[in-house]
Structure 1
Amino acid sequence: MTYVPENADHTFYHTARSAADSLKPSAEQRITLIVAGVYIIVIAILWHVPYLSAIIYPFKLLTVGFHEVSHAFMGVLTCAHIHSIELDPREGGETRMSGGIPWLTLPAGYLGSGFIGAALIVCGFDTNASKVASIVLAVFFLFTLWWARRDWLTWLLILGMAGLIVLFWFVDGGVALRYLILFIGVMSCLYVLWDIIDDTIDRKINSSDASAFAEICGCCPSQVWGVIWLIVAFCFFVAGILIGLVAFKESAAQQASDAKHFLPVPGSSGARLSFSLSPAALFGAVLSTSLLVSYL
């Protein structure tokens, strides 16, 4: 005779229902999902239409920067020496390093930028999380400037993005920053998916990361690795949306209230600082810090 606890079915029912409720979008999350869907359509159109693609050109270069810095970070973790990072005006990029473990550093560009995009999508569901993401991006910018200090295009891109993030921080208590972070996240994930398809599945490029990886491994052609990385990158994209749905259920009013007391806009009623810092002064501080780190 098997003993069945009295509340066994009841407990299982509530657990399953809680999971379903966690994934059910709130009113604010539905707006975020709609905006993300609009981003996907707009980016897909602007990306492939001549002349119109210039509108998102800086963001395309930024996603290339994510790709190259992911190579560099994995190189650092595998004891490689990073010589330089360069962004090409034709939206290409190159990371020069010596040493490291190639079978880890080569796929890091695709998978790393996909992971960054997914993380930014998660943060795009919440204003305070977007503020934290912008600070992390600032650190990313500093590392990029250090490795690419001889590349003027990277300097212009990073300084322009830093100024844009500072500007959006001051719009409507940081709400605009949330949608900017969401846009960058969606852009990064789409770039990874399209780049993998373009480099490996649609047409094989001998100089691509996938081709170099296939030569090192020798067991599968680059198209096979492209499909594997494409699946992983798509899983990152889906995971970013699901985690955002589960983690951030606050309404727009709750997010606005919390944002007033978490890294508030200087000079606002929620600021706990004893001094006021104008947007121009804040951007000047970011620029000065970048210059200092770059010439160390």
Structure 2
Amino acid sequence: MAPRSPPPPTWATLGRATALTLTPHLLSRDHSVISKRALAVSDAQKVTLGVIAAYVVGIAILWNVPYIRWILWPFKMLVIAFHEFGHAITCVLTGGKVKSISLDPREGGVTHMQGGRSGLTLPAGYLGSSLIGALLTFAGFNINASKVASIVIGVAFLLTVWWGRRDWLTIGTVAAAVGLLVGCWFIRGAEALRFVVLFIGVMSSLYSVWDICDDLILRKVNSSDASVFAKRYGGSSQCWGVIWSVISLCFMAAGIVAGIAAFPQSAEQQREDAQKFIPTRF
């Protein structure tokens, strides 16, 4: 009788050293495949990235060209509202009290606070608005995510109006923004909402970079959050401004990468999903 051939090796019969050698290799290969799939850019995402690039170029031009820069004025006021909200919510979270918020038609704003940790509340204006911008940019990759983002923005605006209820410019800016977002819910099944949320996200993400450049590098304005922070905690206002700008850009980049990884759906799939979540096309 011919000798029986041994059964093929299994994980149970493999030696311990062999198993430990092969397992990391397999896990590494699987992880690499998953990572490539997660960051593969779909056609819909290519469109979104192209829109983001167009927004960046368009905002940069409008921000710096005289006269036509007034086109951005309503959105600047909106982003300034985000800026002041960042100060206010951080003050509350660190044990302080917000007395009032007001916006200035000359593209400024102020939050009157009592208490809180100034080491956190001072940078929270620029960093808070850039973080909000990154989250909105992330949401702008998907219609349903943009719907959720617009609801969250509405809640944040209610708090801003409460703190700025004595300032008519604040109330008017918030009311106009809410009206724009609500109106976009009913344009092509809220598809327009996605691009408005994306624009506000890009604008808010880059606001701190351009505003710091205007105030501290080009015009060297001394009355800024960075200058106050430098007086209290050391360093120069320009140094802190650059640091906050770099962090803001990192937030924006993270928002874009997260959007690519989280929302691989095609444009048609997004439209179908949007009709299942608070549908606005009848």
Q: Is TM more than 0.5 here?
A: yes
1:221 to 2:213 alignment: no
Q: Which residue matches 2:246?
A: 231
Q: Is the 2:206–2:248 contact (alpha carbons within 8 Å) kept by the matching residues of 1?
A: no
Once structures 1 and 2 are overlaid, which stretch shifts more, 2-11 or 42-51?
A: 2-11
How does 1:68-79 map onto structure 2 within 5 Å?
Answer: 68-79=84-95
1:248 to 2:263 alignment: yes
Q: Is the 1:71–1:95 contact (alpha carbons within 8 Å) kept by the matching residues of 2?
A: yes
Q: Secondary structure at the match of 1:263?
A: coil
Q: Which residue matches 1:84?
A: 100
Q: Which residue matches 1:43?
A: 59
Q: TM-score, normalised by structure 1?
A: 0.86
Q: TM-score, normalised by structure 2?
A: 0.90
1:24 to 2:33 alignment: no
Once structures 1 and 2 are overlaid, which stretch shifts more, 41-50 or 60-69?
A: 41-50
Larger radius of gyration: 2
Per-residue Cα deviation, 1:14-62 (whole angstroms, up to 9, x for no partner)? 2113212211211100000001111111111111112212222111110
1:95 to 2:98 alignment: no
How does 1:156-175 map onto structure 2 within 5 Å?
Answer: 156-175=172-191
Q: Secondary structure at the match of 2:112?
A: strand
Q: Is the 1:199–1:210 contact (alpha carbons within 8 Å) kept by the matching residues of 2?
A: no
Q: Secondary structure at the match of 2:265?
A: coil
Q: Which residue matches 2:10?
A: none
Q: Which residue matches 1:152?
A: 168
Q: Secondary structure at the match of 2:138?
A: helix
Alignment partners' CA distance in 1, 2:97 and 2:236: 28
Q: Which residue matches 1:135?
A: 151
Q: CA deviation at 1:174?
A: 0.7
C-alpha RMSD of the superposition: 1.5
The amino acid of 1:181's aligned partner reads V
Q: Secondary structure at the match of 2:22?
A: coil
Q: CA deviation at 1:203?
A: 4.5
Once structures 1 and 2 are overlaid, which stretch shifts more, 200-209 or 168-177?
A: 200-209
Alignment partners' CA distance in 2, 1:8 and 1:66: 46
Q: Is the 1:204–1:222 contact (alpha carbons within 8 Å) kept by the matching residues of 2?
A: no
Once structures 1 and 2 are overlaid, which stretch shifts more, 95-104 or 177-186?
A: 95-104
The amino acid of 1:253's aligned partner reads E
Q: CA deviation at 1:83?
A: 1.1
Q: Secondary structure at the match of 2:124?
A: helix
Q: CA deviation at 1:197?
A: 2.3
Q: Is the 2:206–2:249 contact (alpha carbons within 8 Å) kept by the matching residues of 1?
A: no
The amino acid of 2:90's aligned partner reads M
The amino acid of 1:71's aligned partner reads H
Q: CA deviation at 1:88?
A: 0.6
Alignment partners' CA distance in 1, 2:230 and 2:178: 37
Q: CA deviation at 1:241?
A: 0.2
1:116 to 2:132 alignment: yes
Alignment partners' CA distance in 2, 1:146 and 1:152: 12
Q: Is the 1:201–1:227 contact (alpha carbons within 8 Å) kept by the matching residues of 2?
A: no
| 5+ long unaligned stretches in structure 2 | 1-15
The amino acid of 1:73's aligned partner reads I
Per-residue Cα deviation, 1:118-161 (whole angstroms, up to 9, x for no partner)? 00000000000000001011111111111111111112111111
The amino acid of 2:176's aligned partner reads G
The amino acid of 2:178's aligned partner reads A
Per-residue Cα deviation, 1:230-260 (whole angstroms, up to 9, x for no partner)? 1111110100100000000111111111110
Alignment partners' CA distance in 2, 1:100 and 1:6: 54
Q: Secondary structure at the match of 2:190?
A: helix
Alignment partners' CA distance in 1, 2:219 and 2:119: 22
The amino acid of 1:254's aligned partner reads Q
Q: CA deviation at 1:81?
A: 1.7
Per-residue Cα deviation, 1:58-97 (whole angstroms, up to 9, x for no partner)? 1111011110110000111112121111111011111111
Alignment partners' CA distance in 1, 2:243 and 2:174: 31
1:199 to 205, 211, 215: 215
